[in-house]
Amino acid sequence: MKFIVDAQFPRALAKRLKELGHDAKHTWGLEDSNRTPDTDIARIADRAQAVVITKDCHFLCILKCLSLKMPIKSVNRAKRPDNASS
| Residue at 83 is within a domain | no
At residue 75, the pLDDT reads 62
At residue 28, the pLDDT reads 95
Where would I find the beta strands (DSSP E) of 1-86?
A: 2-5, 23-26, 51-54, 72-74
At residue 25, the pLDDT reads 96
| Residue at 47 is within a domain | yes
Q: Digits of tens for pLDDT over the chain (86 positions)?
A: 999 999 999 999 999 999 999 999 999 999 988 899 988 998 899 899 998 898 887 777 777 777 776 665 556 655 544 544 44
At residue 64, the pLDDT reads 72
Run of H or E including 66: helix 59-66
At residue 65, the pLDDT reads 76
Q: How many domains does the chain have?
A: 1
Spatial strand order of the sheet with 51-54 comes to 23-26, 2-5, 51-54, 72-74
**Which of 8, 12, 15 lies closest to 54 in space, CA to CA?**
8
| Residue at 56 is within a domain | yes
- Domain region containing 23: 2-74
